[in-house]
Homo-oligomer: A and B are copies of this chain.
Amino acid sequence: MEEKSQLQCKTYAADISSIKEAQNRIKPFVHRTPVLSSGQIDSISGRRLYFKCESFQKGGAFKFRGACNAIFSLEDSEAAKGVVTHSSGNHAAAVSLAAKLRGIPAHIVIPKNAPACKVENVRRYGGNVIWSEVTVQSREEVSAKVVEETGGVLIHPFNDGRIISGQGTISLELLEEFPHIDTIIVPISGGGLISGVTLAAKAVNPNIRILAAEPKGANDSAQSKAAGKIIKLPETKTIADGLRAFLGDLTWPVVRDLVDDVIVVDDKAIVEAMRMLYEILKIVVEPSGAIGLAAVLSKYFQENPAWKDCNHIGIIVSGGNIDLGVLWESFKN
């Protein structure tokens, strides 16, 4: 009830109506991704799990929803000079593909340490790759320069209402198909995905629980929730290359007010979850995409009385872009 009134009284960067608009806008372009289940994984976790496989989304990640919504929201005059973004990979590929569909150029700033398969995706979709150093600062500086030179529109990876609205369409699909889901576990990084998922899900069902899953080596969101303000870390270290960003001023209010908890897991648990998804569910999932399963299997979640009655749990499998060699190496360690 309290949450419902929060939703009604506060203004966030997206809401159920912007998310429904996004759904109509992107429907012709996105895959409606399947939801997989496994009796075996249910037995192991002690809950009924519904894996929403955004790893099967175009570009191999949920990012295409937001990118598509942002790019197809642009007026023709705005779109004419193309779009610019910086991203370690999945957002980059998503922007490239959405720009290609709209018929405009995409200039993509990528840090030098991005996984090869993600850079390959950008090139495959016709994105113009511009390298930066690995720091957030370098990425942002290079992007600003590209915007200046090209006159393109910057499409931020997460701190943007259109992006948040696009990602929120995941909840609409999931809860339409499985209205009895009582909890959704969502990977958290910059917060675009979890903001959209939360705003849509809590509008549909005010009692639904939203739990963020975050790697130990980049646990800025857990720290932010504890401190009551955005915390940025001097460095991050995790196998989940998609989960290294920090919250923005548009995503933080949603995380602060509406996300029920942040579950922190270590890289070992993430790898074990990737292995289970490979061996049992037969899907290719990158570390960031496996973290929701790792969270549900964690001692923190399993032993927390607050989550004891989370019985029907949607898990957002955010992406599947991982080089096979990297996957194999991670399993061997």
* A interface list, Cβ under 8 A from B: 31, 34, 36-37, 39-40, 55-56, 58, 60, 117, 124, 275, 278-279, 281-285, 320, 324-325, 327-328, 331
Tell me the complex Cα distance, A275–B34, Å: 21
- Residue from B282, B285, B320, B327 in contact with A320 in the complex, judged by beta carbons closer than 8 Å: B282
* Pairwise interchain contact A282-B328, C-beta atoms closer than 8 A: no
Q: Which of B31, B284, B325 contacts A283 (CB 8 A)?
A: B284
CA distance A292 to B291 in the complex (A): 33
Given contacts A39-B58, A55-B282, A56-B282, contact A328 B320 (CB under 8 A): no
A285 contacts across to B, CB distance below 8 A: 282
A117 / chain B contacts, CB cutoff of 8 Å? 279
A36 vs B36: C-alpha distance when bound (angstroms):
13
Chain B nearest CB, measured from A208 CB (Å): 24
Question: A331 to B320, Cβ gap below 8 A?
Answer: no
Q: Which of B39, B40, B275, B284 contacts A282 (CB 8 A)?
A: B284
Q: How many copies does the complex hold?
A: 2
Contact A282–B36 (Cβ < 8 Å): no
Q: With the chains together, A282 CA to B31 CA distance in Å?
A: 14
Q: Please, how many angstroms separate the alpha-carbon atoms of A58 and B40 in the complex? A: 9
Top 9 A-B pairs ranked by shortest CB distance?
A: A282-B320, A34-B34, A282-B284, A328-B328, A55-B282, A278-B284, A324-B328, A60-B282, A56-B282
A330 to chain B, nearest CB (A): 10
Can you list 21 A-B contacts with CB-CB less than 8 angstroms, sorted by A residue number?
A31-B37, A34-B34, A34-B36, A36-B56, A39-B58, A40-B124, A56-B281, A56-B282, A60-B282, A117-B279, A275-B324, A278-B284, A278-B324, A282-B284, A282-B285, A283-B283, A283-B284, A324-B327, A324-B331, A325-B328, A328-B328
Compute how far the CA of A60 lies from the CA of B117 in the bound complex, rounded to whole angstroms: 26
Closest to A289 in B: B282
Is there contact, CB below 8 Å, between B283 and A282?
yes
- B-chain residues with CB within 8 Å of residue A325 when the two chains form the complex: 328
CA–CA, A36 to B124, complex, Å? 20
CA A34 to CA B58, docked complex, whole Å: 16
Note all chain B residues with C-beta closer than 8 A to A281.
56
Task: Write out the residue numbers on chain B whose beta carbons fall within 8 Å of the beta carbon of A275.
Answer: 324
| A300 CB to nearest chain B CB (Å) | 27
- Residues of chain B within 8 A (CB-CB) of A55 are 282
Q: How far is the CB of A326 from chain B (nearest CB, A)?
A: 10
Name the distance in Å between A317's Cβ and chain B's nearest Cβ.
10
